[in-house]
Amino acid sequence: MKKISVTWLGDEDPSVQVITHKGHSFVKGEAVTVEADERDAASYEANPMFAVGKEKVDPVPSQEPEPANPEAGTEIDTVRKELDALGVKYDGRSGIDTLRGRLAAEKAKAN
């Protein structure tokens, strides 16, 4: 067995910053020294998600989702506003599926 330096490059998912692979924990972009036989070393080298033996590597940048626009509101707010405009009474604790159903029923009655 030989010691090799292995860096997990990660992926675009911002929620995954640590993985366990072959019994070793990897933090995205940080080198870890592992003991590996020839087969394990070759598998790390063949895997595009890992960099082997390199001093400095750049991990895959995370793709953060666009922040929510508070002025745009949420879908549940939009459905509630439509129900309010139609004069429909509903329980304020109702979920989006219930509210969608009420709105669809009201629109069906209007047609």
Residue 59, Cα to own-chain centre: how many angstroms?
Answer: 17
What residues pair up with 3 in beta bridges, in sequence order? 35
Tokens for 73, please give them. 């509101």
- Report the predicted TM-score, pTM, of the whole model to 2 decimal places: 0.58
Strand 31-36 to strand 18-21: parallel, antiparallel, or no bridges (unpaired)?
Answer: unpaired
Question: Which amino acid, 42?
Answer: A
Segment 53-72, tens digit of pLDDT? 987 889 989 887 777 666 66
Report the pLDDT value the prediction gives residue 68, as an integer from 0 to 100: 65
User: What's the average model confidence in pLDDT over 5-21?
Assistant: 92
What type of residue is 38?
E
What distance in Å separates the CA atoms of residue 8 and residue 44, rounded to the nearest whole number? 10
Which residue bears the tokens 């020294």? 33
